[in-house]
Amino acid sequence: MYTKQQLLSSIRSETAILQHLATQVPAGQLDYRPTAGQRSTLELLRYLTIAITAPARFAIERRWDWEQLVAESQRLGLADMGAALDRQFRGFVRLLKPYDERKLLKLTTKDWGGKTVRLNEALIQWVFKPIVAYRMQLFLYLKASGATHLKSSDCWDAPAQKKGAQA
pTM for the predicted model, two decimal places:
0.92
41 vs 144: CA distance, rounded Å:
11
The fold of the 4-26+38-158 domain, in CATH, is Four Helix Bundle (Hemerythrin (Met), subunit A) (1.20.120)
| Mean pLDDT per 10-residue section of the chain, whose length is 167 residues | 92 97 97 96 98 96 91 96 97 96 94 95 97 98 97 89 45
| Cβ–Cβ under 8 Å, residues 117 and 125 | yes
Give the residue ranges of DSSP H helices in the chain. Answer: 4-22, 41-48, 53-61, 66-73, 81-96, 101-106, 119-123, 129-144, 152-156, 159-162
